[in-house]
Each structure stands twice: as structure tokens, then as C-alpha cells.
Chains A and B, each alone.
Chain A
Amino acid sequence: MAEVSRARRTVAAGRSVFPGVRRQLAANSVPVLFLALSLTMVVIAGLDVTFLLNEVVTRLARNSLLVLSLLIPVTAGMGLNFGIVIGAMAGQAAIITVTYWGVPGIGGFLLACLLSTPLAILAGWFAGHVLNMAKGREMITSMILGFFANGIYQLVFLFLVGSLIPIKSPSLLLPSGVGLRNTVDLIATAQSLDMIVWPFVGGVRIPVATLAVGALTCLAITFILKTKLGQDMRAVGQDMHIAEIMGIKVNRTRIIAMILSTVIAAWGQLVFLQNIGTLNTYNSHEQVGMFSIAALLVGGATTQRATIWHAIVGIILFHTLFVVSPLAGQKLLGVPQVGEYFRVFVAYGIIGVALALHAWRGRAAQRAAQAALAD
């Protein structure tokens, strides 16, 4: 009798007799669902495949770094880093400076990367410290931290630029001379990275250089996770207390994870902006965290496990949905806004469901551990 109940408890905890099969199924149910949803919508909207491919390839290239920047904190057990918004702000500060200096082309882009790095390191270090003070609540704290940093960002670029910070450029500033314009045209650096190699392949324009940067980042992340530091991060992610006992400096490892994530996010925002070509000074960064996280989760990642493949599959599926859903809404109900709100709903909903599953699994595991203790 006791054995039966114990077996039942282990099954309930998700450790079935065939862990591999079960895990595969659980890990892939989300992408499969979204694949079906996307395909249905493509069929409903009757979309031109070349147009769709063009959109998805462009979006894959420009969003890859932002989504990849989420991987390291997940490995280090800090959950989904909503604080990549801060990295995005560092990137924007750098590109604003470069635009002000008027450095053109790829040189300007590289200079922006160079400038954003120390800013991002500083921001990541600060964020890491804050998150170390809020262990167990990292996600909500990083989200609020993003909002807070947004306030500081607005303070700097809306009130200090032009008054305290001596920038005098009528094309950048508001007519009053204080504060940055709402949109900044990035003519000098626009598409500078894409432009390097940007061939048409069967009607689809592929930004090879940008994709290569993404691939390089994937390799770099894989490499980092294989070093001693990466193994430390995994250990910290598995169990902080055991890692501490093993002699790993937990807080330091977590801060490094945050710094890496923030720096990659800053570069990611630069890649994103050079493709778009204009900067919405006060809005460009706001949605970055949400959309990147939603994309990663659509790819089948969880708050505790996220791989490069989750990121790539996620970007493709999420952005297909993103492109298609307003058109499908138009075709189905005659109201394009329905589709637009639907994709906002998908973005929020998928994050909500992922967080709920995470908490639910955590509780199941805890209960199983307690049951094991009781036995």
C-alpha cells in the first residue's frame, strides 16, 4: 500500500517511468501548439509566402541577440530577466551619442557597441546587486527595476539633455532646447550591419552579416556555459545553498550573469535599431523585455531551462504570429484591431502561463520532497 502511494506521488511530481519521453512531450507542447496556431492563421489570412519569409527572416536577425541575452540568467537560476530593458537603454544612450557625433556607417555602429558596453556593465552590476537582495523574487524585482530605470532614462533624456548635458543640436532636441525629440532618425547608422552582406535569395532578402552576429553570439554563449564560470552558473541555478557549500561565490556568479545578459541586450538593441533605422526615444525599449521573453517562452523554454534552440524556434514562431495575426483578424472578423490585441494577449498570456507552470511545478517538487521526507 505504502509503495503504491509513493509511486503515485512520484508520478504526480513529474518523475514518470519514462522521463525522457515525458520531458520531450512537455518541452515541445508549447511550440507545437503555436506552430499549429501560426499555420492556421497563415492559411486564414491567405498570406504571400515570400512576404512572410522576408518578414520572419528580418525579424529573426534583428531580435536574435535580445532573446539570446535571456539565456544566461535562466541558467544561473534567476528566472526570466525582465531587466534586459536596462541593457536596451544603455544601447540607446550609446546610439544617441553616436548620432550626435555624426559617425556614419559600420564605424558608427561599432563605436556605439563600444560605448554601450561600459554603461551596460555598470547597469548589470547594479541590477545584479539589487537582485541578490531579492532572492526568490528575481523576476518581479527585475521587472520593477526596468520600470525604475525607465524613469531615470526619461529624467536624463527629457530634462537633463540640453540643460545639464551640453548637447546643442536642433535636429536632436525638442524645439524648446531641452529634452530629446520623440523620434530620432538614425540615418548615419541605419542598416549599417545588414548592408554588409544582404543578398536576395529567391525573393527573400537575407541579412547574412546580422545573422552571423547572432550565430556568433550563440557560439559565445555555448562557450561561456562550458567554462568554469558557466558550470558555476549552472550549479548556482540548480541549488544556491549547495553551490555555496561547494565553495562557489553565489552572489558574484549571479552578478556576472546579470552583467553578461545586460551587455548582450545592449548590443541586441543596437542590432535591432540599426535594422529599424529610427529610434523612438521614449518607447523603443519599453516592449523589448516583454516581446523577447514571450518569444523565448513560445519556443518552449521555461523559467528554469532555456536553450539556444528555444530562442531560435521561439523568435520564428512568435514573429510569424506577430505578422499574421492582424491580417487574420481582418479576414476573420473584419476588425484588424482584434488581431493586434490578440497578439498583445498572446504575449502577456504566454508569459503568465509559463510563470504559473513554473510556480506550480516548484510546488509539486516541494510537495514531493516533503513526501519523501515523511516516508
Chain B
Amino acid sequence: MNPARASAIIRRRCASSRETPCGRNPSLFGNCWVTGVTLGDGAPSGARLTRSGPSCKRPDFDTPRASTASPSQKWGAFLHPHLAMRAHFRQPVQQIGVPRLIIAAFLVALFVVAYVTKMSVSQLVSDSLIRVGMNGVLVLAMVPTISCGVGLNFGLPLGIICGLVGSLISMEMNLRGFAGFFAAIGCAVPLAVLVGYAYARLLESVRGQEMMVGTYAGFSVVALMCIFWLMAPFKNPALIWAIGGKGLRYTLTLSNHFGKVLNNFLVFRVFGVSISGGLLGFFLLLCLLVHLFFRTKLGIAMLAAGTNPLFARSAGIDVRRMKAAGVTISTVLGAIGIIVYAQSYGFLQLYLAPLMMAFPAVASILIGGARLQRATISNVIVGTVLFQTLLTIALPVTSRVIQGDISEVARLIISNGMILYALTRATGGK
């Protein structure tokens, strides 16, 4: 019996039983108690464990959490040997996850069809990589909210709106190239911090219904901003309707501003696959920054607040502040994400375009293996790669077999099916 595997499954069990807010389940209470007593002095000790403890040897993204949960693992394995027994058989499939296996198999099948029908596989891969970089940051925005215990950020359109406003300001000033791109980010981020903080306050007051309220907060702000786009005081003739001289256009082309600046930066070819170093590099850089953030004291405290609010409170962590920080970071990432998306797409879409943008991002991270309470950077990368590759190659490949554009329908079914799977699986219910 591999003790690491056993403890992994027990950790998972413990984490899932911890979700129920108050103690109907006696074992939950016991679990909190054990954790609280053993790690009484809280986050600082957690941080110390991470840096100097034995778990340092495994450089995986869960390390901080693993060290926080280690006493309960120890006790869990000791108290429930039968769990470890079952774990032995389920482990390989569970580790990858059934949905990921299915989607990966489907992808492989699509690639085989593409190869057999003599399509340019390297072209498909290049396109997929662009799409990964394009959407990746929006997916990354889910990590902070999930980690701090708020759940999936269906209010992502709030961050997106901030990014759009930032881009518009940069375009109004007629900045070009990287200057325009960074000016857009520079204008969007402070705005996103303010909006994100307000959004966090809202979510704090509706604890337990964050996802639903977030969805509709996003929807209503998008609708409200439609009125703003119509009345906005922008003067640049490239932005507003030619007739009437008032109101922003539905779609703004970025080719004279910062369109494709990242896409066309540091492009190189490997085996005929063209890779945009700028775009992927920017995405991976942000991933690295978020990863490093969760190794700082604040980041670990946030993880603790998300995993087990009671324990975090007893350890002297201000759970509310952690949640506010998580939501704010997520909103900021959403704002940066839409700017990256827009520069890659070449157009800025206003009005009702941001309405549904949260759903593909949510689906991506869930496809990557995240759950409602737990997400890592690897979930982001795996999920974005799987989902975006699937969407990119589904259209050209299936159009050889079926008439019409099935990729839109596939996107609807897969993304919503994935969200449903996560929603129904999380706590179960009797």
C-alpha cells in the first residue's frame, strides 16, 4: 500500500466533507478539530512547513494545501484503512478523471481523422496554440475565486467590462503597438481593483449564493454598460458611429491600435508548428505569477480561508479580507484576460458580447480537473489546452464529415455539460 496515494484519497474525502457549512456530519467536526489543534498557530506555521518541511521535495502546485492538511491525512489514514484500500483501485482513473479521459480520447480521434483526410495537422496545432493563449488568462481568473472559497466566478463579465473600458481609453488616445496594449492594461487594472472590491463586498453579503448572484450581477452590469456605450463621451471617429456622432460601434477593429501585438511577437517554428512566444509567454508568465502568489504568506492564508474557514479564523486569518482579495485578483485577471483576447482576436466587441463570456472560462477550468472548492494552475493549463484545441479543430475536421458548423453546438454541449457535472458532483446530497 502506497501511503501517499492513500492519504491523497483521504484528503479528497476530507476536503469534500468540509464543504458543508455546519456540522450535521460528526466526522466533519472531528476533522476540523484535529486540524485546528495540530496546526494551532495557523498560516505562518503552514508557510514554514511549505518552505522547510518534507513536502518541499515534491514541487507540485498543491504543496501549500498538502502541508496544511497533513495532520488530518495522517489521522484519516490511521482511522479509515478501508478508504485507502479502495483508493488503490480507483486511483489511476480518478487521478486523470473520467471527463478528461473522454475529451482527450475524442481529441485524439479528431487528430487521427485530420491526419487520414490529409489535413495539415501542424496548422491545426498552431491555431489551437493561438486559441489557448487567447483564452488562457480568462480561465486563469477562476483560480483566485475558487481558492479563496467563493467558487466559480460567474461574475467574470465585471472584469471584462473593466478591460474593455481600459482598451477604449488606450484607443481614444491613439496609442499603438505595445504602448497601446500596456496602456490598456494600465487603465483597466485600477478600475478592476475598485470594481472587484465592490463585487467582493456584494458576494460577502450573499454568502452561499455567490454563483447565482455573480451570474446576474455580471448580466445586469453588461446590460447597464450597453447604455453607457451608447452615451459614452468618446470622440475618436474610429470608435463611434459614422452617422450621428454618438455612441460606440458594436465591434471595433484593433489593427491600427494594439491588434495582434502579442501574437506577432517572438514567433518561431518547431516542426512546422508556428508558436507565438509573445502570446504563450504572456499567459505562462501570468500563470507563474499566480502560482508564486499562492506561495506567499497572503496566498497561503487565502488557501486556508478557502479550504477551511473555521480553521482559518481560529488561526487568526481574516477570512472576509482573503475572499475580498481573491475576488479582486480574479476581476483584475479578467480585465487583463479580455485585453489579451481582444488583441489576439483583432477586434474589441462591446454591447452584449461579454454577456456569456464567463461560461467557456468556467467550463475550461472544470475540464482541467478543478472542482468548486479547489483549482490549481495545472487545471488551468490542461483545461484550456483540451477545451480550446477541441473547439479549434472540431470545425475544420467535422466539416469534412458533416455539413454546417457543429463546433458551436459542441461548445454548448461540452461546456455546459461539464459545468453541470461539477455542480451535481460537489456535495452530492442524499
Contacts and interface: CB of A to CB of B under 8 A. Distances in A.
B427 A151 contact: no
B220 interface: yes
B230 interface: yes
Given A335-B247, A342-B227, A345-B223, A148 B206 contact: no
A333 B403 CA distance: 46
Contact of B206 (A137, A347, A356): A356
A154 interface: yes
The secondary structure that dominates the A interface is helix
A331 interface: no
A148 B404 contact: no
B409 A141 contact: no
Contact of A133 (B223, B403, B419, B429): B429
B412 A134 contact: no
Interface stretch (A70-78, A215-223, A270-278, A359-367): A359-367
Interface residues of B, number: 46
B420 A141 contact: yes
Contacts of A140: 154, 211-212, 215, 423
A145 B423 CA distance: 10
Contacts of A178: 403-404
Given A144-B419, A345-B224, A363 B409 contact: no
Contacts of B217: 352
A359 B208 contact: yes
B205 A147 contact: no
Contacts of A132: 429
Contacts of A150: 412
Contacts of A356: 202, 205-206, 209, 213
A351 interface: yes
B359 to A, nearest CB: 7
A273 to B, nearest CB: 22
B424 A349 contact: no
Interface in B386-424: 402-404, 406, 408-409, 412-413, 416-417, 419-420, 423-424
Contacts of A155: 406, 409, 413
B216 interface: yes
Name the interface size band of chain A.
35 or more
B82 interface: no
A139 interface: yes
A44 interface: no
B226 interface: yes
Given A134-B429, A362-B208, A348 B424 contact: no
Contact of A134 (B220, B402, B423): B423
A145 B202 contact: no
Contacts of B154: 140
Interface string B194-215: 0000000010011111011101
B356 to A, nearest CB: 9
A155 to B, nearest CB: 5
B423 A144 contact: yes
A179 interface: yes
Nearest to A174: B404
Given A144-B416, A148-B412, A335-B230, A360 B206 contact: yes
Contact of B417 (A148, A344, A349): A148
B424 A341 contact: no
B220 A352 contact: yes
Given A154-B408, A352-B219, A356-B206, 11 more contacts: A133-B428, A141-B423, A147-B412, A159-B402, A159-B406, A178-B403, A178-B404, A337-B226, A341-B230, A348-B222, A360-B205
Q: 6 tightest A-B contacts by CB?
A: A151-B412, A352-B216, A359-B206, A359-B209, A151-B413, A345-B223
28 contacts: A130-B424, A133-B425, A134-B429, A140-B154, A140-B211, A141-B420, A144-B423, A152-B413, A178-B403, A251-B430, A337-B230, A341-B223, A344-B352, A345-B220, A348-B216, A348-B220, A349-B224, A351-B216, A352-B217, A352-B220, A356-B205, A359-B205, A359-B206, A359-B212, A359-B213, A360-B206, A362-B208, A363-B208
Interface of B: 154, 202, 205-209, 211-213, 215-217, 219-220, 222-224, 226-227, 230-231, 246-247, 352, 359, 402-404, 406, 408-409, 412-413, 416-417, 419-420, 423-430
